[in-house]
Amino acid sequence: MANRTTISTRSAKGADTRNRILIAARRVLAEEGSDRFTTRRVAELAGVSHGMCHYHFKDKRDLILALLVHARRDWVEPLEELVDGPGSAESRMRAVISWMAEPQTIDVMRVHQTLFVFALRDESVRERLAGEFSKWRAPFVKLFAEIGAEMGLEDLDAKSVGEAFAAAADALVQQQSLDPKLPTERMLSKMFDRIVGRDASRLAPKRPKASSQSARKRR
């Protein structure tokens, strides 16, 4: 029993150390940039030895690959939680759009943008990041499939529309980080309304024609 407790304690400490290293790695990317991103600098910021950093991550690439998975908590996991949440499919989409429109912190955007730059330089990182983007698109595909069934939209291609909407939403979030005044929520809402056939201009009630008698009164 004592041996099991010791193993469990060591495992918990190892997991805690690994997480501290990942958090420190994010800080380096967010605050100091890719030029300062070394395993030695990350270890220093995490308060562990350089050897301990390499015990958990064999090299810089391994650390970057782990950061890609760690970054899911910023974008993929909150999205999945909203998509799998309560309410109608349409109400969940509205919630997703509102969440997407919330301003991202500069630190988060710096981390994600730097990881993207690393992906352009390294094939292994590129493949892992492509997989993470696939995880990002999947909830949108699922949600549009539910929306199609809920609204009776038999011709809705959930996969194509969902993936396109995911890509557009991601691009708008990045642009909003440069221009906070960008009306991301309004733009995504209009796009969604058009997709499901709820274009406001076509759905606005038509004004009744004035009778000839009322027309004469206005004259």
DSSP state of 201: H
Distance (Å, rounded) from C-alpha 171 to C-alpha 126? 18
Give the mean model confidence (pLDDT) for residues 122-136. Answer: 96
* Cα angle 153-154-160, degrees, rounded to a multiple of 5: 85
Q: Degrees (nearest 5) of the Cα angle 11, 13, 17?
A: 115
Q: Do 122 and 93 fall into the same domain? A: yes
CATH of the domain at 46: 1.10.10.60
Domain check: are 54 and 102 in the same one? no
What is the tally of structural domains in the chain? Answer: 2
The sign one gets for the Cα dihedral 172, 111, 75, 129 is positive
Identity (one letter) of the amino acid at 184?
T
Q: Would you place residue 104 in the very low, low, confident or very high pLDDT band (cuts 50, 70, 90)?
A: confident
Are residues 78 and 172 both part of a single domain? yes
Question: Lowest mean pLDDT: which of 8-12, 93-97, 111-115, 156-160?
Answer: 8-12
pLDDT at 6: 58
**192, part of any domain:** yes
pLDDT tens per residue, range 200-219: 444 344 444 444 444 433 33
Tell me which residue range forms the domain holding 37.
2-58
CATH number of the domain to which 130 belongs: 1.10.357.10
Supply the pLDDT for residue 198.
75
